[in-house]
A and B are shown apart, each in its own frame.
Chain A
Amino acid sequence: MIGGRVLVVDDTAFNRRLLVRLLTSIGHETLEAENGREALALLRDPAVAPVDVILLDIVMPEMDGYETLEVLKADPQLRDLPVIVITGVDELTSVVRCIQMGAADYLPKTVDPEILRARIEASMSAKRLHDLERETLEQQRRLLATIDRQRSELARFLSPQVAALVSSDDGEAMLAGHRREITAMFCDLRNFTSFSEAAEPEEVLGFLRAYHGVMGPLIVEHEGTLEHFAGDGFMTFFNDPVLQPDHAARAVGLAVAMRERFADLGALWRKRGYVLEIGVGIATGYATLGRIGFEGRYDYGAVGHAIILAARLSGEAAAGEILIAPRTYAAAEEAIEVQPAGDRQLKGFSRPIPVYAVSAMRTKELAE
Chain B
Amino acid sequence: MSEAILDPAAFAHLLEITGDDLEFVDELVDTYFDDAVVQLEAMRQAADSGDAEALVRPAHSLKSSSANVGASALAEACRSLEADGRAEVVPDFAGRVADCEAAFAAVRSALLAERASR
Number of interface residues of B (CB under 8 A): 23
User: Does B61 lie within 8 Å of A18, measured CB to CB?
Assistant: no
User: Does A21 lie within 8 Å of B67, measured CB to CB?
Assistant: no
B interface: dominant SS = helix
The residue in chain B whose Cβ has the minimal distance to the Cβ of A64 is: B57
The residue in chain A whose Cβ has the minimal distance to the Cβ of B57 is: A59
* Interface window among B17-25, B44-52, B87-95, B97-105: B17-25
User: Does B68 lie within 8 Å of A110, measured CB to CB?
Assistant: yes
Which residue numbers of A lie inside 8 Å of B, CB to CB?
A: 11-15, 17-18, 21-22, 25, 59-61, 88, 90, 109-113
User: Does A12 lie within 8 Å of B18, measured CB to CB?
Assistant: no
Known: A21-B18, A22-B17. A110 touches B31 (CB 8 A): no
User: Does A112 lie within 8 Å of B17, measured CB to CB?
Assistant: yes
Which 3 pairs, one residue from A and one from B, show the smallest C-beta to C-beta distance?
Answer: A14-B65, A109-B64, A59-B60
A-B contact pairs, 15 of them (CB 8 A): A13-B31, A14-B31, A14-B35, A15-B68, A18-B18, A18-B28, A21-B18, A21-B24, A25-B19, A60-B57, A88-B60, A109-B64, A110-B67, A111-B17, A113-B17
| Alpha-carbon distance A11/B69, docked complex (angstroms) | 17
B residues less than 8 Å from A22 (CB atoms):
17-18
B22-45 at interface with A (beta carbon < 8 Å): 24, 27-28, 31-32, 34-35
User: Does B64 lie within 8 Å of A11, measured CB to CB?
Assistant: no
B56 lies within 8 A of chain A by Cβ: yes
B108 lies within 8 A of chain A by Cβ: no
A interface: dominant SS = loop
The residue in chain B whose Cβ has the minimal distance to the Cβ of A113 is: B17
The residue in chain B whose Cβ has the minimal distance to the Cβ of A58 is: B60
The residue in chain A whose Cβ has the minimal distance to the Cβ of B13 is: A110
User: Does B67 lie within 8 Å of A13, measured CB to CB?
Assistant: no
User: Does A90 lie within 8 Å of B64, measured CB to CB?
Assistant: no
Contact of B65 among A15, A21, A25, A90 (CB under 8 A): A15
A residues less than 8 Å from B64 (CB atoms):
12, 15, 88, 109
User: Does A109 lie within 8 Å of B67, measured CB to CB?
Assistant: yes
A residues less than 8 Å from B67 (CB atoms):
88, 109-110
User: Does B56 lie within 8 Å of A18, measured CB to CB?
Assistant: no
| Alpha-carbon distance A88/B68, docked complex (angstroms) | 11
